[in-house]
Amino acid sequence: MERRVTQSDVARRAGVTRPAVTMALRGHPSIPLATQERIRRIAEEMGYVPDPMLSALASYRSTLRPASYHGTLAWLGNNLPPFDWREVTMFRSYYDGAVRRAASYGYNVEIFDFQAKGSTPEKIAKAFRFRNISGVLLSPQPGPSWELSFPWEHFSFVTFGYSLVRPALHTVAPTQFRAMMMTMRKLYEKGYRRIGFGCSFLVDERTDHHLLGGYLVEKALFERKLTMPLFDEEKADAPLFRKWFLKHRPDAIVTGNPRLLQVIEDAGFRVPEDVGLACPTLPEPDIDFAGVYEDSFHMGETAVDTLVGMIHRGERGIPERPHYVHVPGLWLEGRTLRDRHAPEKKNAGTAKRSRRSS
């Protein structure tokens, strides 16, 4: 049987120590990028593959001791006014989750921003290299269909959602298409039949139209037709909503923003007595609003899991085949829907509200 190629074999061919091979194959920042690439090329030419049993043993041993300091991960924002990712509940939770999970691997997370005074992509990349930062979490962009220029080839990147269209990077995102389908099915189960679409068209574009797609699929499967025009929550005020509502008479509305509850009440209608309301993209789990809670904190954790794995595998630059990690949400009953099969309850409470930004 042919002998397995070991890291010691690779080290002899490359003229380095075995620990240097180990660190190079893991993308350790103490090994120059050119050396890492040379060692990976030699390992590939020799047919080296990691021993799965030894890898599992090393992973097990690492869980038995506290995480040692490995370095810094960058959180790279793009706060082009008036946008600020820190003011968006879900985006802030991405960051908080990332910080928590990074600490478990022995990393700090430091914030950088494209819009900081005097910043350019080249200066930011230079700062990363000077600080031995090889992993970058790219925050959601100020708007949909965003394009960025950066020296990508030196770093491992993971981003969030679909606002960045070029380049296509490894991405962590909520399952918004399935969340909308789940929301629609819950409404049909509760006896609602005329369900209106009340999401911001801009937010829907940020989700790569996953919200509208899930809505239209369920409408087609259950009703076989689109029974009323779409309503853009982004431009909604009480008079505009009242006109749309009285003309089309929905018995329920799906929205991407819990703020629509206040617009409906200002228009003189009660939720859920006059109209049901559900949100497939809830930013918080405790607002008494029916819908799907996205758990953005967990998405931040998942992004770091993905990024650390890339660093260990030495994956840099724009991927040839970007991966999309979709994190499912959790259905919450809330108080903005009622069971239309059951007798209506009197004095139903109103739902607490949550601030959410597009």
Give the dihedral of Cα atoms 309, 310, 314, 317; nearest 10 deg.
Answer: -170
pLDDT at 352: 46
Give the C-alpha separation, 35 to 163, whole Å. 35
Q: What is the pLDDT of residue 327?
A: 95
Contact (CB, 8 A) for 161 and 140: yes
Contact criterion met (CB below 8 Å) for 324 and 171:
yes
Would you state the pLDDT for residue 32?
78
> Tokens in use for 337?
């829907």
* Neighbour-count burial for 195-219, b at 16+ CB within 10 Å, e otherwise: bbbbbbbebbbbbbbbbbbbbbebb
* 0.95 surpassed by pTM: no
Both structure tokens of 283 = 């930013």
Q: Name the packing angle between helices 89-105 and 296-313 (round to 10°).
A: 40
β-pairing, 330-332 vs 291-293, is antiparallel
The token pair at 20 is: 């240097």
The residues with which 171 forms a beta bridge, in sequence order, are 159, 324
Walk along the chain (358 residues) and give the pLDDT tens digit of each residue.
Answer: 567 888 889 999 999 888 778 778 876 656 777 888 888 889 889 888 876 655 555 554 554 555 566 799 999 999 999 999 999 999 999 999 999 999 999 999 999 999 999 999 999 999 999 999 999 999 999 999 999 999 999 999 999 999 999 999 999 999 999 999 999 999 999 999 999 999 999 999 999 999 999 999 999 999 888 889 999 999 889 999 999 999 999 999 999 999 999 999 999 999 999 999 999 999 988 788 999 999 999 999 999 999 999 999 889 999 999 999 999 999 999 999 999 987 655 544 444 444 344 3
Q: Which domains does the chain have, with CATH numbers?
A: 7-63 (1.10.260.40), 71-174+296-328 (3.40.50.2300), 176-294 (3.40.50.2300)
Angle between helices 7-14 and 33-46 (to 10 degrees): 120
Is residue 303 within 8 Å of 98, Cβ to Cβ? yes
Q: How far apart are CA 205 and CA 200, in angstroms?
A: 9
pLDDT of residue 25: 81
- Residue among 36, 43, 51, 37 nearest 12 (CA): 43
CA 9 remoteness from chain centre: 41
What is the widest separation between alpha-carbon atoms in the chain?
80
